[in-house]
Chains A and B, each alone.
Chain A
Amino acid sequence: DAKTTQPTSMDCAEGRAANLPCNHSTISGNEYVYWYRQIHSQGPQYIIHGLKNNETNEMASLIITEDRKSSTLILPHATLRDTAVYYCIVRVGAYKYIFGTGTRLKVLA
C-alpha cells in the first residue's frame, strides 16, 4: 500500500499559486518525499524531492513540516499546462515507489 494520502482533486485559477498537500504520517527518519506529475497519456515527470528541509527548483517548491508527517507542493504561478495528476511518493523498501491515487489538479482559465 502507498504510504501517502492526497486529496482526490483540486482546482486552481491560472496565475495563482497551487498548493497540493500530502500526508505521510508513517514516514521513517531517512525516507525522502518525491513528487511527480502525470499529464494524460505520458509517463510521470519528476518535479522535486526532499528529506526535511524545504526545497525549491525551477518547477516548484516543497514544504515539509517539522515532524515530517506532511508536505505541500507549491506551484507558484499555475498555468493551464500544469493541469495533471500529481503524485506524492515515499519509497517502500530500498528503491520501490508505490503510487497512491494522486491529486488531479485542474488549472482554470
Chain B
Amino acid sequence: GAVVSQHPSRVICKSGTSVKIECRSLDFQATTMFWYRQFPKQSLMLMATSNEGSKATYEQGVEKDKFLINHASLTLSTLTVTSAHPEDSSFYICSARGSGPYNQPQHFGDGTRLSIL
C-alpha cells in the first residue's frame, strides 16, 4: 500500500530555533499534501494544504509566516516551524494523496513530536 514517511519522528530544541519536518511519499507521486497538528487528547487539526509547485493554502488562524510549507516535488513536502516557542510544542502529522481517482484516500505519516524547551 501507499507509504508516507515523516522525519524526524521526534525533535527537542530550544525556544527561538527553527525546525524543519519532512514528509515523503515513498511509492507514489503526491500531488497534494496536508499538514495537521494534534494536541494531547485532541483530534487532528488541519493546518494547510499544499499542491506541488504552488503556494500552500492555510486554514483560518494558522500563521503562514510561522509555519512555512514547501512542496517542491511530487514526493516531498516540508514544514518549517520558524522561531519556535513552547506553545508550538505539538504532534505534527502530514498526509498525502496521489493523482488517481478523486475518491482515493489520503495516507498519513507517523508524525513528528515537537518539544520546545
Q: Please give the residue numbers on chain A whose beta carbons come within 8 Å of chain B beta carbons, in ascending order.
A: 32, 34, 36, 38, 41-46, 49, 51, 87, 94-102
Whether A97 lies near B34 (C-beta < 8 A) is yes
| Known contacts A41-B91, A101-B43, A95 near B108 by CB under 8 Å | no
**Neighbour of B43 across the interface among A32, A49, A96, A102, CB < 8 A:** A102
Q: Determine the chain A residues whose CB is within 8 A of the CB of B49 once the complex forms.
A: 95-96
CA distance A51 to B109 in the complex (A): 25
Whether A41 lies near B113 (C-beta < 8 A) is yes
Whether A32 lies near B103 (C-beta < 8 A) is yes
CA distance A41 to B93 in the complex (A): 10
| A-contact bits for B97-117, CB 8 A (1 contact / 0 none) | 100001101111111010000
| A-contact bits for B14-27, CB 8 A (1 contact / 0 none) | 00000000000000
Number of CB contacts from chain A to chain B under 8 A: 54
Closest B residue to A85 by beta carbon equals B43
Q: Determine the chain B residues whose CB is within 8 A of the CB of A98 once the complex forms.
A: 46
Whether A44 lies near B43 (C-beta < 8 A) is no
Identify whether the interface residues of B are mostly helix, strand, loop, or mixed.
strand
Q: Determine the chain B residues whose CB is within 8 A of the CB of A36 once the complex forms.
A: 108
B6: CB under 8 A from chain A?
Answer: yes
Q: Determine the chain B residues whose CB is within 8 A of the CB of A46 once the complex forms.
A: 1, 105-108
**Neighbour of B105 across the interface among A49, A51, A94, A101, CB < 8 A:** A49
Whether B110 lies near A99 (C-beta < 8 A) is no
Whether A44 lies near B108 (C-beta < 8 A) is yes
CA distance A87 to B91 in the complex (A): 17
CA distance A65 to B91 in the complex (A): 35
